[in-house]
A and B are shown apart, each in its own frame.
Chain A
Amino acid sequence: MSGAIAQQEAAFLSLRRQRRNTTLLGAIIFVVCVLTAGRVSEFYPSSLIAGAPRIGEYFSRIAPALEWSKLFANTQTEGSLAFWMYRLDAWGLLLFETAQMAALATLMGAVVALLLAFPAAKNLGLPAWVNATCRRVLEATRTVPEIVFALIFVWAFGVGALAGILAIALHTAGALGKLFADAMENIEMRPWDGVRASGGSWFQACRYAVLPAALPDLLSYAMLRFEINLRSASVIGFVGAGGIGEELYKVISFNYYEEISAIIVLVILAVVCIDLVSEKLRRRVIEAVS
């Protein structure tokens, strides 16, 4: 009896020791990684302590000086909402432009992604090297960040929204293309067999067997991507590629403190509003399509 208990106890202890050792090893590796990373990224406690007051000061200067008593006064009164947002019309227009950039980029990216997704899907009877090539192309365009594309496109297409739209569209094509191809690989294959058996061509089978089955997924992915692209479009102007980002870059560089917070608040509001609307719209579109 006691022998069995002792055996149990020994097994328990050895298991616990083993788990503790694993945890300890993991913790040591983690600490070494943190220390190395801290060294490489010059994240020293001294520089952090020296920087902390400046960070606090910077963010407190950005914060708008609003006063309760004058909150709804006109643009001339310091401390009012209107004074803080005194260029609301110009910023609103820029935000609208940013949203249009995101929409156009999503559309262009989705069209390219759709065209490349059919050859990239493995179940549609194309040779393996075609699938592999398309997938590699999509992978390459989605791994390179939009900003890098934008930096290059600004040289080729000139400063302005076009460079930003094309940069976001290219990245979107890669990201959506993979999702589209995966969605197409998950469809029911019987309609495809039916269309092919009754003499339909490859293109007809794609149109009448694959597309209707995958459409709800494709639309849902594209609309989610629009929300992501709106965020990207709001910063792509940092490199001169149009939208509210250019204005934001300017006010941050020139230290127009209160305007920074005004623009950021507007961007957040726009993103949150579009997220909400887009979520409702997405549900309705998917219901209507499927």
Chain B
Amino acid sequence: MINPGGHLLSPAEVAAWRARMPEAFGPTGTARLWRWLGVVAFLAWLTGTLWWFDVSPQRMWNGLNGLGVIVRLMIPPSPGEQWVEILHGLAESLAMAFLGTAIAATIAIPLGFLGARNVATNMLFRFSLRRFFDGMRGVDQLIWALAYVRAVGLGPLAGVLAIATADIAVLAKLYAEAIENAEKKQAEGIAAAGGSPTLVMRFGILPQVAPIMLGHALYFFESNTRSATILGVVGAGGIGLQIAERIRVRHWDEVAFIIILMVLMVMTIDWLSGKLRRRLIGGR
């Protein structure tokens, strides 16, 4: 080892430095101990959970073999006999996503104004509304779909309602944040010129937040297009129902075909909505 002066450090000097600043020579004893304890705890957790879920090499091997057979049966993908039905399912999924998002986005606008700090000044009311929004987020769309299927019967109506219900709360929260972040001077100007609270909202706040709201709504439309493809698994209409049916009767080539169409649809919608979003926000 060479010190800044240029001569070799003697082992005694190295030992002295090690005693003075042990951190410079790598992790110290306690740090190393903690690291080892962490590794051991992690390995214990991993083996414990793997054992609990009954994951054995044997089972993995059999499963992968089964999966290999399925993948081989998937090639080549084929539309089967029911072209029209598949296309109708895709259209239904898309329509569910669009209508659900549109309903959620419309209902979320007044809720967003209610939840915003600079519009609703009652602390307690606002706080409980926000917590309620947060809680609603924890319920997955599939749960809503399953509940609505029980309430209004099988079909896309349940899907639309599920998408709308699941999104209202989240969109309202995002809208409330957008409204809070809006520039206050324009609103104050309208209030100072004698505008009523409604006019302040319409001309002071809405023009600022409308592009942001539209952008959020478009994002949700994209993500809902993805989720609308699977709501059918629980009977809420759309292409998911057809996929689940074909998996049940093990028509794997048709399953592969539908999955490919699904992916293509989602990608097209992503691309379209991205273009539209850039135009809306860019042209502000």
Contacts and interface: CB of A to CB of B under 8 A. Distances in A.
A57 B147 CA distance: 12
B230 A148 contact: yes
A76 interface: no
Contacts of A248: 143, 146
Interface in B219-244: 226-227, 229-230, 233-234, 237, 240, 243-244
Interface string B140-152: 1011001110111
Given A145-B227, A153-B63, A54 B147 contact: no
Interface in B22-53: 46, 49-50, 52-53
Nearest to A51: B152
Among B134, B155, B227, B230, which residue has the most Cβ atoms of chain A within 10 A?
A: B230
Contact of A255 (B137, B142, B150, B255): B150
Contacts of B138: 231, 267-268, 271-272
B151 A54 contact: yes
B135 to A, nearest CB: 5
Contact of B147 (A34, A148, A252): A252
A155 B255 CA distance: 13
B92 A144 contact: no
A105 to B, nearest CB: 11
Contact of A235 (B64, B66, B143, B229): B143
A157 B98 contact: no
A34 B244 CA distance: 28
A84 interface: no
B30 to A, nearest CB: 15
Contacts of A41: 92, 95-96, 99, 156-157, 159-160, 237
Contacts of A267: 138-139, 143
B151 A58 contact: yes
19 contacts: A39-B95, A40-B94, A51-B152, A51-B157, A55-B148, A58-B151, A103-B49, A104-B50, A145-B226, A147-B240, A151-B244, A153-B63, A157-B59, A158-B63, A166-B63, A232-B140, A239-B244, A264-B139, A267-B143
B92 A272 contact: no
B150 A58 contact: yes
A100 B95 contact: no
Contacts of A90: none
A57 B152 CA distance: 11
A57 B98 CA distance: 27
B161 interface: yes
Contacts of B59: 157-158, 162
Given A51-B151, A151-B244, A157-B63, A38 B157 contact: no
Contact of A152 (B143, B226, B255, B263): B255
Interface residues of B, number: 61
Contact of A238 (B52, B146, B153): B146
A87 to B, nearest CB: 18
Contacts of A147: 142, 230, 233, 240
Closest 6 CB pairs of A and B: A157-B63, A156-B66, A40-B95, A268-B138, A37-B95, A58-B151
Contacts of A249: 146
Contacts of A153: 63, 67
Contacts of B63: 153, 156-158, 162, 166
B140 A156 contact: no
Contacts of A151: 233, 243-244, 247
Interface of B: 46, 49-50, 52-55, 59, 62-64, 66-67, 70, 91-92, 94-96, 98-99, 102, 134-135, 137-140, 142-143, 146-148, 150-153, 155-157, 159-161, 226-227, 229-230, 233-234, 237, 240, 243-244, 247, 250, 255, 259, 262-263, 266-267
A198 interface: no
Contacts of A54: 151-152
A268 B53 contact: no
Among B99, B135, B160, B243, which residue has the most Cβ atoms of chain A within 10 A?
A: B99
Interface of A: 30, 33-34, 36-43, 47-48, 51, 54-55, 57-59, 62, 97, 100-101, 103-104, 107, 140, 143-145, 147-148, 151-153, 155-158, 160-162, 165-166, 231-232, 234-235, 238-239, 242, 248-249, 252, 255, 260, 264, 267-268, 271-272
A231 B140 CA distance: 7
Among B59, B233, B243, which residue has the most Cβ atoms of chain A within 10 A?
A: B233
Nearest to A263: B143
B259 to A, nearest CB: 6
A100 B237 CA distance: 31
